[in-house]
Amino acid sequence: MAARPPPARPHIGIHPSFNVKPNTDWAEDDVWDSASDSESPRQSTLAHSWRYSANTQPKRQPSPATAPKPVPRASSNSSSSTLAQSYTHLNAPSPSSYPPKSELGQPAKGGWTMVRKSSVSQGSTDGRVSSKFRGDADVDGDMVVGDLEPDIGSVAGNPTRQERSSIKSDAEEIINDPFCRLLLSSPPQPKSTFSNGIRHSSRPSDAERLSRESSIRTNRRLKFNDCLSKEDVNIADLRKLAWAGTPTDLRPVVWSILLGYIPLPSNLRASTLARKRGEYLSLVELAFARDRQGLDQQIWHQIEIDVPRTRPGVRLWMQASTQRSLERILYVWAIRHPASGYVQGINDLVTPFFQVFLSAYIDSDPEQFDTSLLPENVLNAVEADSFWCLSRLLDGIQDNYISAQPGIHRSVKRMAELVARIDAPLFAHLEAQNVEFMQFAFRWMNCLLMREISVQNTTRMWDTYLAEGADAFSQFHLYVCSAFLVKWSTKLREMDFQGIIMFLQSPPTQDWGDHEIELLLSEAFVLNSIWQNAQSHFNAK
């Protein structure tokens, strides 16, 4: 049974050739306030594209890609009080989220190229144009060649052969048995270093280091394979392995087991997956059975607003098919949990699950993939698995999202008490500048730091959270946030109120990798070990 789509609606897309240079002032340029949530979504297509035949599943087409609407620049004279109330500020998308820039000498599709008529620039030996002549400036004696109109196929979102071939040939088998290929696949090999087609020989120390790291990865993978290939997975052993990070291609099954979505005995897995996926499709069919008139309008309105805001600038989340999947996941979860309904921030929590489960079926970067190319049953499986794992995660932090969000207020209060104990000078400076923890830590708890670090960093962090157990997203996360704040202590103590708020809304984590996340997790583990069983000392400053 196919999942019934929610009402069709406008989406924000991105042209495949869209490139953005990193902007260190992003926090000043692209801030929006939570007051903007009152905006009504565009209604241009809602009226005529909602209804489908009761027995006909609309055929998915490659998702269109359109240029995103620019966010208005924030006023430079905004008051600090207004800034302090802005909890919905998003981080700048990582530059790696955008398609690579065109290689020198190879004009981008649909672009213009400056060509010298008389002679090539001095110093160029291969006839290629010097990069200083590329751009919009008029240059005497040059002519512009190339397409004057953008490539129609790219704008329409027509899939390339490479995109279609990135779907794994045994995707249908993986649906029924996620273990069938993952345990047999070889670990990814480190890429060789090339420059201008010539391989550079590594120094002996580098070669030794790479060899040692490769050996460690191989040994860890063998331990994962041994643990997962047993008839009945030992959950304690799997937690120990996952704490230090999970291999990318094993993450879909490891997360499913740690969350209790896939049962430990191997003979129950196929039937459980089929039942849970079928149950999700039934929930979708029931939720959208009465068309738009049958939806909870308040919940649906907020989801309509938030879905296009999810990970702006990332191709995967700009695709219409992905946005429709996200709408279904969020709406079904919300109506199944009336005590909380849908709350801003839950949309962010879906993205790691969706990308992890999508990666099981493709050989390319999930962030650059168009989900409309997936077979219908594969997309349904990714969507259902994301829904159930999100549900399992939120079960442990439900009080973060019920009325008045008491879980978040409790965590922020405890974080302030902990920081007062572990970094008294920083705490005193924040008090002197009238900075309240709620002004920055609310979002850290609500979105689990997802707007402060990349999705790649988040997935690595969640390996450890899931290994820690059911309470990690509330208890252990408190210590991670405290370690994250104290990490910037020296810089923060030199800033005033506005500087502190701006910095903590957009911390410089764009270049963070696994190493930085693992250091943060290690510091949080130390804090957890010291303070978790010393609750009576929290209030003593």
Q: Kindly tell me if the per-residue pLDDT of 44 is higher than 70.
A: no
What is the C-alpha to C-alpha distance for residues 361 and 169, in angstroms, rounded to an integer?
A: 9
Q: How confident is the model at residue 39 (pLDDT cuts 50, 70, 90)?
A: very low
Whether 303 contacts 42, CB under 8 Å:
no
What is the C-alpha to C-alpha distance for residues 389 and 381, in angstroms, rounded to an integer?
A: 12
Return the pLDDT at 434: 97
Query: Quick one: which of 94, 91, 140 has its CA closest to 114?
Result: 140
Q: Kindly tell me if the per-residue pLDDT of 327 is higher than 50.
A: yes
Q: Which percentage of the chain shows pLDDT scores above 90? A: 56
Return the pLDDT at 183: 55
- 366 in helix, strand or coil? helix
**E strands, 439-488, where?**
none
Kindly report the number of other CB atoms within 10 A of residue 236's CB atom: 8
Phi, psi of 195 (to 5 degrees): -145, 115
Transcribe 175-244 into DSSP letters. Answer: HH-THHHHTTSPPPPPPPPEETTEEPPPPHHHHHHHHHHHHHHHHHHHHHHHHHTSSB--HHHHHHHHHT
| Ramachandran quadrant class, 142 (left: phi over 0; alpha: psi -120 to 50; beta: rest) | beta
- Evaluated on CA atoms 30, 34, 40, 41, the torsion sign reads positive
Burial class of residue 50, CB neighbours in 10 A (0-12, 13-18, 19+): middle
The CA radius of gyration of the chain, in Å to the nearest whole number, is: 25
Q: Kindly tell me if the per-residue pLDDT of 534 is higher than 80.
A: no
Residue with the larger pLDDT of the pair 414 and 23: 414
Look up residue 509 and give its two tokens: 């984590």
Look up residue 237 and give its two tokens: 């052993």
Whether 312 contacts 347, CB under 8 Å:
no
Q: Kindly tell me if the per-residue pLDDT of 33 is higher than 50.
A: no
| One-letter identity of residue 33 | D
Q: How confident is the model at residue 205 (pLDDT cuts 50, 70, 90)?
A: confident
Q: What is the pLDDT of residues 333-370, one digit of tens each?
A: 999 999 999 999 999 999 999 999 999 999 999 999 99
Q: Kindly tell me if the per-residue pLDDT of 324 is higher than 70.
A: yes
Phi, psi of 270 (to 5 degrees): -60, -45
Q: Kindly tell me if the per-residue pLDDT of 373 is higher than 90.
A: yes
CA contacts within 13 A on the Cβ side of 87: 18
Kindly report the number of other CB atoms within 10 A of residue 498's CB atom: 15
Burial class of residue 119, CB neighbours in 10 A (0-12, 13-18, 19+): exposed
The residue written with tokens 């290939």 in the block is: 229
Average pLDDT over residues 73-91: 39
Return the pLDDT at 10: 46
Q: What is the pLDDT of residues 107-164, one digit of tens each?
A: 444 444 444 444 434 443 343 433 333 344 443 444 333 433 334 334 334 555 566 6
Whether 29 contacts 74, CB under 8 Å:
yes
Please give, one letter per residue, the 3-state secondary structure of 433-444: CCCCCHHHHHHH
Average pLDDT over residues 510-525: 96
Q: Which percentage of the chain shows pLDDT scores above 70? A: 64
Q: Kindly tell me if the per-residue pLDDT of 302 is higher than 90.
A: yes
Average pLDDT over residues 451-456: 95
The helix, strand and coil proportions of the chain, stated in percent and rounded to the nearest 5, come to 55, 5, 45
The residue written with tokens 């820039």 in the block is: 101
**E strands, 51-161, where?**
113-116, 142-145
Report which secondary-structure segment, H or E, holds 410. Answer: helix 406-422
Q: Kindly tell me if the per-residue pLDDT of 62 is higher than 90.
A: no
Average pLDDT over residues 10-23: 47
Transcribe 380-403 into DSSP letters. Answer: HHHHHHHHHHHHHHHHTTGGGTST
Phi, psi of 522 (to 5 degrees): -65, -45
The total number of residues written for the chain in this structure: 541
Kindly report the number of other CB atoms within 10 A of residue 36's CB atom: 13
Residue with the larger pLDDT of the pair 45 and 491: 491
Return the pLDDT at 535: 65
Domains of the chain: 268-396 (1.10.8.270), 406-539 (1.10.472.80)
Q: What is the pLDDT of residues 377-431, one digit of tens each?
A: 999 999 999 999 999 999 999 999 998 999 999 999 999 999 999 999 999 999 9
What is the C-alpha to C-alpha distance for residues 120 and 477, in angstroms, rounded to an integer?
A: 58
Q: Kindly tell me if the per-residue pLDDT of 191 is higher than 80.
A: no
Return the pLDDT at 539: 57
Whether 458 contacts 523, CB under 8 Å:
no
Best-predicted range by mean pLDDT among 63-77, 130-144, 443-457?
Answer: 443-457
Whole-prediction pTM value? 0.70
Look at 88-102, 206-220, 226-240, 277-291 and tell me which has the smallest mean pLDDT.
88-102
What is the C-alpha to C-alpha distance for residues 13 and 321, in angstroms, rounded to an integer?
A: 11
| One-letter identity of residue 454 | S
Return the pLDDT at 118: 41
Burial class of residue 69, CB neighbours in 10 A (0-12, 13-18, 19+): exposed
Kindly report the number of other CB atoms within 10 A of residue 126's CB atom: 6
Best-predicted range by mean pLDDT among 112-126, 176-190, 281-295, 432-446?
Answer: 432-446
According to DSSP, residue 34 is labeled: G
**E strands, 59-183, where?**
113-116, 142-145
Average pLDDT over residues 496-502: 97
Query: Quick one: which of 349, 358, 290 has its CA closest to 321?
Result: 358
Return the pLDDT at 105: 43
What is the C-alpha to C-alpha distance for residues 181 and 179, in angstroms, rounded to an integer?
A: 6
Residue with the larger pLDDT of the pair 541 and 381: 381
Q: Kindly tell me if the per-residue pLDDT of 465 is higher than 60.
A: yes
Transcribe 246-311 into DSSP letters. Answer: --GGGHHHHHHHHTTSS-SBGGGHHHHHHHHHHHHHHHHHHHTTTTGGGS-HHHHHHHHHHGGGSS
What is the C-alpha to C-alpha distance for residues 508 and 263, in angstroms, rounded to an integer?
A: 40
User: What mean pLDDT value characterizes the chain?
Assistant: 76
Q: How confident is the model at residue 211 (pLDDT cuts 50, 70, 90)?
A: confident
Return the pLDDT at 162: 60
Query: Quick one: which of 137, 142, 147, 85 has its CA closest to 116?
Result: 142
Q: How confident is the model at residue 217 (pLDDT cuts 50, 70, 90)?
A: confident
